[in-house]
Chain A
Amino acid sequence: MSRRAALLLAAPPIVFLAVFFAWPVASILAAGLFPNGQLDVRGLVATWTQPWALRTVAFTLALAIGSTLLTLAAGMPAAWVFARFEFRGRRLLRALSIVPFVLPTVVVGAAFLALLGPRSPVNAALAGLLGPSAPVLRLDGTIWAVLLANVFYNVAVVLRLVGGLWSHLDPRTEEAARMLGASPWRAFREVTWPLLRPAVMSAASIVFLFTVTSFGIVLVLGGPGQSTLEVEIYRQTAVLLDLPAAAALSVLQIGGIFTLLLLYARSQERLAVEGALRPAAEMARPPRTRRERLAVGGTLLGLGLLIGLPLLVLVERSFAGIGGYSLDAYRSLFSVSARSALFVPPARAIADSLVFATATLLIAGCLGLLAALVIGYRRGWLPRTFDAVVMLPLGTSAVTIGFGFIIALDQPPLDLRTSVLLIPIAHALIALPFVVRAVAPVIRAIDPRLREAAAVLGASPSRVWRAIDGPIVARAALVGAGFAFAVSLGEFGATLFIARPDTPTVPVAIYRLLNLPGGTNFSQAMAMSTILMVMTAASVLLIERFRGSGPQPF
């Protein structure tokens, strides 16, 4: 890719990020760092070295690293199963794995509390067996609940990003290693792992960024004393309006994240192995030996429990009522009864959610693809920095971005503060990194000889791209697109802090249901959550249909 082409392709995403990320964040930081027109360095350092600040940073890092490692541990076996094996319900399960992503934290908190709290089925069984003196096993309020919830949320990232690359790796390379005397584990370590590493790091980077800016789930499931950097920034900005302190923390957050991202981008370039990918049809096949069947079954069972149990709890609670199970919650959701105008008709919420998600998909999909092309095809420090910049919104506090919008976008023609458009823009800031993460490692791994072969056979460069890179990139882009859609459905990003016109989406409808007391609100919130889950799975399955027919796994 020539320099000129790279600049041309990179321009739209750069402009987007400059206007809707860099400028707002710079504005809010400036307001805090230069309170009286002068940079108060001593104040900055003083804030950074306060014991509570250090404690918060340490806790945030520990939580993020622990969550990332656990998510990798849970997701890698699942990625292997989905990449290498064909089995019934595979597409459905893969779509379901992304459902946790979209659920509001209060809902997930309720589900995990039901599973891990004082009234969990385990405790009920214990009480049944051992009577009132039975011990009560509870994980709520501990760091383990938060870790488990983080894995629940993020395992889909590993499953799809790692599984996506894995399914393109020629299984015969592994078989060759095995024939040369490598045990299955050794074959993985020596041959598959070096080829897989870029995707693993890719997924790990996203999971890390998500968990390092973890906000809601820490509040809901962790004990009240546990506070992350994100929570502190929220408190300083949104509650106390102490902009200098907030800016100090934000600078720390952004600076730290940016450095990590630069290192990560550097390692990605070095780790990429060309020639690892082939566009030919993959060999996903049904498990044949007993060992394989056990491995597949066991992994699926584990994944099913991890993801399925909390989801099942939510679905069950939506049907549960005073008189046993019924459809009452759903019926009352859809009926126009005399209730507060706060309640949103589900049809409206679903429509609004889908419209925003589609808009996000278009924005993030196009811009993300352009960025990924530049990052994947070009080498050097400039694309690497671009890579880090693209990922940065994921690691920046939503509060900072939201408040940045208020300060920065205050003059026409960019006064979008009251515009509906700001919502998909805010979503796209978070969704764009997903598209880049899904596509860039795949591009770097394509065998250049395939392109050369096509060229020798008489294909022009654009024809070569269409025939060789195109299908591989397109399929990877669809993985990113699925995430972009899910991100928007789940209302991530700065949208909590944006003043939105009356366009309630499903998560907003759920929040409203849970913000007022009332007999059936909770069941209705669970019913809405179930609707959200079904919507998400259906949308992702639909997006994947665009891959075209045929036995292509990812």
Chain B
Amino acid sequence: MGVLELSGVGVRYGAREALSGIDLVVPEGQVLSLLGPSGGGKTSLLRVIAGLEPASAGTLRFDGRELTDVPPHERGFGLMFQDYALFPHLDVAGNVGFGLRMAAWPAHRVRARVAEMLELVGLPGAEARSVGRLSGGEQQRVALARALAPSPRLLMLDEPMGSLDRALRERLPLELRGIFERLGITVVYVTHDQEEAFSVADRTVILRGGRVEADGTPEMLWGQPPTEFVARFLGFRNVAPGVWQEAGIDTPWGRLSMADPRGTAEPAGDDAAASVTTEGRIELTVVLRPEALSVAAGGPISGMVTARRFRGDHVLITVAVADAPDLELELRGAPLPAVGDAVSLAVDPRGVILIPG
């Protein structure tokens, strides 16, 4: 096991640049999730690490050794494909034991390891079953067992939850996380679902347009999304441009009093110092967390309730504000305004995210 280092990695298909300037270091044993919208280059990055595609720029090292000329079957990495790519002509044991056969393990050791892997993924005794007759969840487990059986130095998973139902999608990431921790394996996990990314991984890298848009722990990314794109991608709704000047922020919803954002906001990415104007104005993107808004008389924001949705432990209220995007807030307990009420909203400064630029 070792450290994975990518420097300046780029991939182009003809004229299209799918990845460019990727610098990434993955320490041993880390679970890294690669998050991003489709077409953002996540799968390309996986394939480059796996060796299934050549990088058109940059270098790839693992354990200090440069991997450019190493073919995929010699890298010792595991890859679990989207749609699993199980071998239809082999049964479950044949699939799971495939990598071991390639490594010329003796038959009895293969059998033992296959049983061990099936036990690990929760499919004990499934050796003789035909892969064509497995359910989606079972196929996923077999694919995982197959990838894990040869004890890869690095495991990559490409949208492993893609074709599963919602219940499994919520439960399985945690199970996977448990398996990864137990094995102490380095993992790169690709998904477009940020909930999944955050529940599985220690660290998330967000890719956009073939470049790294953000890189941090879930807490960091969630607490202070570095760019507007990341904020929106993570699901934040109340996003709008704003200008800080004279101890307050002018937003389309109203003026919020705030301390100097340069003290509270953490610079994110490349454009940290970009947007300070000469008059002491700072241009920002403002994100209001739903839980930062509350109904209070005399608040800086006034609007009208247009929708109310019950969400179990809270109610989601949509408030329309003149000349501004709708606001969403979560309310717990009474009083709950009705649809059509005029409301005034207060903002808790701890729930305001300020993104430079």
Q: Please report A residues at the B interface, Cβ cutoff 8 Å.
A: 170, 172-173, 175-184, 186-187, 190-191, 194-195, 273-276, 285-286, 288-289, 447-449
Contact = CB atoms under 8 A, between A and B. Distances in A.
Contact of B132 (A182, A184, A195, A274): A274
Instruction: Give the 5 A-B CB pairs with smallest separation, nearest first.
Output: A180-B99, A181-B102, A275-B88, A172-B85, A176-B85
B73 A183 contact: yes
B81 A194 contact: no
B89 A180 contact: no
Given A181-B103, A449-B132, A175 B72 contact: yes
Interface string B54-90: 1000000000000000011110111101010111110
Given A191-B87, A195-B88, A181 B150 contact: yes
Contacts of B85: 170, 172-173, 175-176
B72 A273 contact: no
Nearest to A194: B89
A381 to B, nearest CB: 24
Given A191-B87, A274-B88, A182 B53 contact: no
A173 B87 contact: yes
A178 B73 contact: yes
Contacts of A178: 52, 71-73
B14 interface: yes
Contacts of A175: 50, 52, 72, 79, 81, 85
Given A175-B79, A273-B89, A288-B54, A180 B132 contact: no
Nearest to A274: B132
A179 B132 contact: no
A179 B77 contact: yes
A288 B79 contact: no
Contact of A288 (B53, B72, B76, B81): B53
A177 B85 CA distance: 9
Given A178-B72, A191-B87, A275 B98 contact: no
Contacts of B102: 177, 180-182, 186
Given A186-B102, A187-B73, 6 more contacts: A179-B52, A182-B73, A183-B73, A191-B87, A275-B88, A448-B132
Contacts of B132: 274-275, 447-449
B146 interface: yes
Contacts of B71: 178, 183-184
A289 B73 contact: no
Contacts of A170: 83, 85
B81 A172 contact: yes
Interface of B: 13-14, 50, 52-54, 71-74, 76-79, 81, 83, 85-89, 98-99, 102-103, 131-132, 146-147, 150
A179 B73 contact: yes
Contacts of B50: 175, 179
A336 B88 CA distance: 63
B87 A177 contact: yes
B128 to A, nearest CB: 17
A173 B102 CA distance: 15
A194 B50 CA distance: 25
Contacts of B103: 181
A172 B131 CA distance: 16
Contacts of B146: 176, 180
25 contacts: A172-B81, A173-B85, A175-B72, A176-B79, A176-B87, A176-B146, A177-B98, A177-B102, A178-B52, A178-B73, A179-B50, A179-B78, A180-B98, A180-B146, A181-B76, A181-B103, A182-B73, A183-B71, A183-B73, A186-B73, A273-B88, A275-B131, A275-B132, A288-B54, A447-B132
A176 B54 contact: no
Contacts of B131: 275
A346 B103 CA distance: 64
Nearest to B99: A180
Contacts of A184: 71, 73
A285 to B, nearest CB: 8
Contacts of A186: 73, 102
A63 B99 CA distance: 41
A516 B71 CA distance: 62
Contact of A286 (B14, B78, B86): B14
A176 B81 contact: yes
A447 B132 CA distance: 8
B322 to A, nearest CB: 44
A118 to B, nearest CB: 48
Contact of A289 (B54, B74, B77): B54
Please indicate which of the listed interface residues B50, B74, B98 has the most CB atoms of chain A within 10 Å of its own CB.
B98
Nearest to A276: B88
A193 to B, nearest CB: 10
A172 B83 contact: yes
B134 to A, nearest CB: 9
Nearest to A176: B85
B88 A181 contact: no
Nearest to A174: B85
B352 to A, nearest CB: 45
A448 B131 CA distance: 12
B149 to A, nearest CB: 8
A179 B72 contact: yes
B107 to A, nearest CB: 16
Given A172-B85, A274-B132, A288-B53, A181 B14 contact: no
Nearest to B79: A179
A205 B89 CA distance: 23
B270 to A, nearest CB: 31
B167 to A, nearest CB: 17
A190 B90 CA distance: 10
